[in-house]
Amino acid sequence: MKTISTAADMQQTVLALRAQGKRIGFVPTMGNLHEGHLSLIRIAREQADVVIVSLFVNPMQFGPNEDFDAYPRTFERDRALCEETGADLLFHPALEDIYPEGASVSVTESALSRTLCGAARPGHFDGVCTVVAKLFNIVLPHFAVFGAKDAQQLRVIRRMVRDLRFPVEIVAGPTVREPDGLALSSRNQYLTAEQRPQATCLRRALDEAERLFAAGERNPDAITVAMRKLIESEPDAKIDYVSIVDDETLQPLDGPITAPVLIALAVRVGSPRLIDNTPLRP
């Protein structure tokens, strides 16, 4: 596996590969990799001639109360994991190569990014869209793989690709979970021994929602009340949101569930803010 550290070298390399007829798969990450990220690389490996993984901690998607400097940088470990999992090229650019001095252009999505996590983290999805647009222009992939755990991000990226006519297919990778149901996340490492079992309340709340739905419940308020009750039974769990929204628009429902919806939740278990989701389809 080769590591490339500048945008110019990356573009030149990919243009040569595309000229050879190679199909390029791309997995963008901020590093500190876990099995969830590796599952995305494996999906790309199944569909691509050349798999490219980026490691770049994007400052633009960190809010004022989120510590960009404290985000774990584990390059050597991440590099080894990428190589073991089947990546062909690793793109590890410097900050100034992605955001040159005086950079003044950004990408804003103004509908899907205003609810759920976007409501609590203003500007976050502008940062996501901006860096992904830059990476798409540098890596020039035929397709890119994003995890379904970040459901809002996945939908925002798909909308950006559609609206800006990026010739990139977006592939969703299933959420990878621990044996007890907790979705894999870089933030799980910050849970204490007492908080770790409590964190399964996210998956248990989604299971309860699915159970109620299967039993015929179509009132979104009744489902969210049951979910909140389960989560609030854990002493260290503090709800950011528990929402049932239209699966396409991410807007709250104004009546019973009659079309596909997304149940999404964000919960702080101690300090870590964890997210999870599940779709429901009548």
Just list the catalytic residues: 37
Strand 24-29 with 143-147, pairing: parallel
Q: 237's torsion region: left (phi>0), alpha (psi -120 to 50) or beta?
A: beta
Cα 42 to Cα 18, 52, 55, 60, 158: the distances in Å are: 21, 11, 16, 28, 21
Please report where in the chains the tokens 């104004």 appear, as a residue: 254
Cα separation of 106 and 35, whole Å? 31
* CA-angle at 159, arms to 154 and 163, nearest 5°: 155
Cα separation of 269 and 184, whole Å? 14
Cα separation of 264 and 272, whole Å? 17
Which 8-state DSSP code applies to residue 167?
-
Which tokens in the block code for residue 15? Answer: 């243009």
Cα separation of 180 and 162, whole Å? 37
Which tokens in the block code for residue 147? Answer: 């995890």
